[in-house]
Structure 1
Amino acid sequence: MPDAIFAHPRLVSVYDAFDGDRTDLLAYLGIADELGANRVLDIGCGTGCLAVLLADSGRTVVGVDPAAASIEVAKSKDPAARITWVHGDVTALPALDVDLAVMTGNVAQVFLSDDSWTQTLRGIREALRPDGHLVFETRRPARRAWTDWAADTDPVILDVPGTGPVEQRREVTDVSLPCVSFRFTYRFLSDGMVVTSDSTIRFRGRDEVESTLIAHGFRVLDVREAPDRPGREFVFIAERTT
């Protein structure tokens, strides 16, 4: 089941405001250009920020996400229905024959078990054309991002258009490596409503990610920095083997 931050209608309505400027997504447009990708699958597309950018660049785009509320927000950004929006996960997709599959926003870390990660890689491979590419980011475990999260306890308050002022707090609730759990608490100051969202993500090292890619039909072509977050994340570029 998707975390409340992606699935609760009230939280999804303010998600983009708290997510902030998504100029980080421009790097993925550049990679799509570099790879000559015209048909793109956006896995864990959320509220559709990247999918819309890809469609704006003239590409054919499929966005898939298990959170129905997020898909509805994404559809609202695509009034011309240029993008195929799918409520579900990549394991249930037909063979799409796409050139490129992407996972941004550290979507790759939500797959906690080895089995769920394996099933996801298999689903992606089936969706790609032969020699198609998979590109995704994941946080470097050695950077220990959770220590920064635990130290940053100050609330963030934003005045969200159509909603009013909203307070967000984050707390780390458990560190049992390779998994880390945290909670977001939102207080809607206009009416006092409080909604919480609990999440757990898994940190996989570079060697582990590379070995699982190779084991499930991919060739690792490159591992890069996220240009706006140097030293914090790996960006994997892999090719489906025939």
Structure 2
Amino acid sequence: MSYDDPRLAAIYDIDNPDGPDHDFFRRVADEHGAADIIDLGCGTGILTVTLTGLGRAVTGIDPAPAMLDQARNRPGGDKVTWVQGTSEQIAPGSADLVVMSGNVAMHILHEQWQTTLENIAKSLRPAGILVFDSRNPESRAWQNWNDELGERDTPVGRLRESLATDPPDEDGVVVMHCHNEFDDGTVLDEDQRLQFRSHAQIVQDIAAAGLAVEETYSDWYKQPFRGGPGQPLMVFLAKRP
């Protein structure tokens, strides 16, 4: 979903709260002593603001203005530099760490994915780190992404919503048809596209951008990824030589 609508941005944190994934990214920042951090696809900044600290400069980048409005106005938002845009906005040689959380990598489709990796590689200083998560296509998660019309209370009022998902096309792109009905009678139908890539494909793409995968984990506690449908999550840690 684009989350360009302020109402969808306002409920994003409810559906995507702070948790073990954010703990993992914070640990990576600490362990690698990152001073300059880019949170690419930062959304509402729920993780971004927690990456700030003494001696750190943190930048959150996102293409959706409504999401950035939420980010700027959250507690700690004044400690982050917020930028509307994509990886093209990252200055070369400006980062010790680039983070893409919450399946951001899967939202970057087709040739733009390789362009993004190349931009990130240029932005990283020597020994700089890229860390992100993606879903293992062998687990076929999309088969569970179909929900009949339901209702719930949200900060923007009563929301009626449903979800229907198409299986992946030949490029691994899954389309999620999201239906939202708000209390004022507004209906918002959007299609969200996620591209599933195999572990081998992602490793190859990262190498083509000039980075090297150092670790792939199967969870947020650094258990190694071995492949197969029993490991639905892939967490990549790549380094610039």
State TM-score, norm by structure 1.
0.88
Letter matched to residue 186 of structure 2: M
Q: 1:41 aligned to 2:34? A: no
Change (3 A) 1:45 1:99: same
Q: Which runs of 5+ in 2 are unaligned?
A: 224-229
Provide the secondary structure at the position in 1 that maps to 2:102.
coil
Distance of 2:163 and 2:15 partners within structure 1: 12
SS of 2:78's partner is: coil
CA-atom RMSD in angstroms: 2.2
- Equivalent of 1:194, from 172, 187, 194? 187
Identity %: 33
Aligned to 2:238: 238
Please name the residue that 2:208 is paired with.
215
Q: Which residue, 140, 165, 173 being the options, matches 1:172?
A: 165
Higher helix share: 1
CA offset digits 1:98-136 (Å, max 9, x no partner) = 1100101111111221x2111101111122111100000
AA aligned to 2:8 is L
Counterpart-to-counterpart distance in 1, 2:13 and 2:4: 13
- Residues 219, 235 of structure 2: 8 Å contact kept: yes
CA–CA distance in structure 1, aligned partners of residues 64 and 130 of structure 2: 22
Query: Unpaired segments of 5 or more residues in structure 1?
Result: none
Structure 2 residue aligned with 1:121: 117
Q: Which residue of 2 aligns with 1:103?
A: 100
Tell whether the 8 Å contact from 1:91 to 1:122 is kept in structure 2 after alignment.
Answer: no
Q: Runs of 4+ in structure 1 displaced over 6 angstroms? A: none
Write out per-residue CA displacement over residues 134-164 of structure 1, whole angstroms, 9 at most, x where no aligned residue.
00000001000111113xx244533223x22
User: Which stretch shifts more, 92-101 or 217-226?
Assistant: 92-101
Q: Distance in 2 between matches of 1:82 and 1:193?
A: 35
1:172 is matched by which residue type in structure 2?
T
Are 1:16 and 2:16 counterparts?
no
Residues 132/40 of structure 1: CA separation in 2 closer, same or farther (3 Å cut): same
- TM-score w.r.t. structure 2 length? 0.88
User: Matched residue pairs, number?
Assistant: 233
